[in-house]
Amino acid sequence: MTTVLKTKELQKQFGSLTAVDRVSLEFDDDEITSIIGPNGAGKTTFYNLLTGVLQPTDGKIWLQKNGDLKDITTLEPHEVAQAGLSRSYQITNIFEGLTVRENVRVARISHDNSRMDFRSRADSDDEMERDIDDILALTNLEEMAEVPCDELSHGEKRTVEIALALSIEPNVFLLDEPTAGMNPTETTKIVSLIQQLNRDVDSTFVVTEHNMDFVTDISDRIVVLAEGAVLADGVPEKVLNDERVTKAYLGSEST
């Protein structure tokens, strides 16, 4: 068991509002952690702090790379990604105008560090094309490879989102509500995809989610955020039976 991601006293204030309140967490490489909490609990802000989109007011973040924990607190988003932290977005964020294959190719160009190559053709690197094939096969997107993403269904777009984040071979993969806006069939598909990826891929998964069936299904550990702070943290059975958690979800929390 190795710690792959760690935060200490992480805090973010927007004016007088404390969105993330001294969160200290460690994520281990051998478990899937779900972060749950009511709307406005600070889940997405927490992700934005981890990925460098927002700068914390206070606290620190470390990411494991080659055995060492590296301080990534002040890094820019692209540097965080290069350091090995990848994410999917709650609101689908893919390259809509490009085909599925081109989407993955962009990620592989970034991963292989050939962004500044002006001279070769983008699709001429056989090794890269094979890697793209592998990723498309892994995420069951082969049949849609040549389809422009703006012609895909919502569920398919969400899958492309996961394929993209996966393509840079991250140490840690943050999934922000992967089933948001999906119908039950699509949800089943994406849940089994994530379970399958968790088996087949080296990345450590951290998931935020509202869908409780999915959370209990997939998680080894659940962290509950409420009003920006950690309310409960532990194995699913323990956390979900915690009285404070039920209260937070029913909105009758007394302070």
Chain residues binding another protein by CB under 8 A are 51, 53, 76-79, 81-82, 86-87, 89, 93-98, 102-103, 105-107, 109-111, 114-122, 148, 164-165, 167-168
> In the complex with another protein, which residue's Cβ is closer, 58 or 123?
123
> In the complex with another protein, which residue's Cβ is closer, 98 or 201?
98
Could you tell me the strand order of the sheet in which 58-65 lies?
A: 17-28, 3-14, 58-65, 68-71
CA distance 186 to 179: 8
CA distance 73 to 54: 10
> In the complex with another protein, which residue's Cβ is closer, 208 or 211?
208
Could you tell me the strand order of the sheet in which 204-208 lies?
A: 85-88, 172-176, 204-208, 33-36, 221-226, 229-234
Question: Are 136 and 187 a contacting pair, CB within 8 Å?
Answer: no
One-letter amino acid of 209: E
What is the nearest approach in angstroms of another protein to the Cβ of residue 99?
8
> In the complex with another protein, which residue's Cβ is closer, 88 or 211?
88
> In the complex with another protein, which residue's Cβ is closer, 51 or 203?
51
What is the nearest approach in angstroms of another protein to the Cβ of residue 242?
33
What is the nearest approach in angstroms of another protein to the Cβ of residue 50?
11
What is the nearest approach in angstroms of another protein to the Cβ of residue 250?
35
What is the nearest approach in angstroms of another protein to the Cβ of residue 229?
26
Q: How many residues does the chain have?
A: 255
**How many angstroms separate the Cα of 184 from the Cα of each of 36, 89, 213, 214, 219?**
20, 20, 12, 11, 19
What is the nearest approach in angstroms of another protein to the Cβ of residue 241?
36
CA distance 196 to 36: 22
CA distance 100 to 80: 24
What is the nearest approach in angstroms of another protein to the Cβ of residue 117?
4
Tokens of 16: 């007088």
For 163, the 3-state DSSP assignment is helix
β-strand partners of 86: 173
Residue 30 is given by DSSP the state T
> In the complex with another protein, which residue's Cβ is closer, 64 or 167?
167
CA distance 121 to 194: 33
> In the complex with another protein, which residue's Cβ is closer, 44 or 51?
51
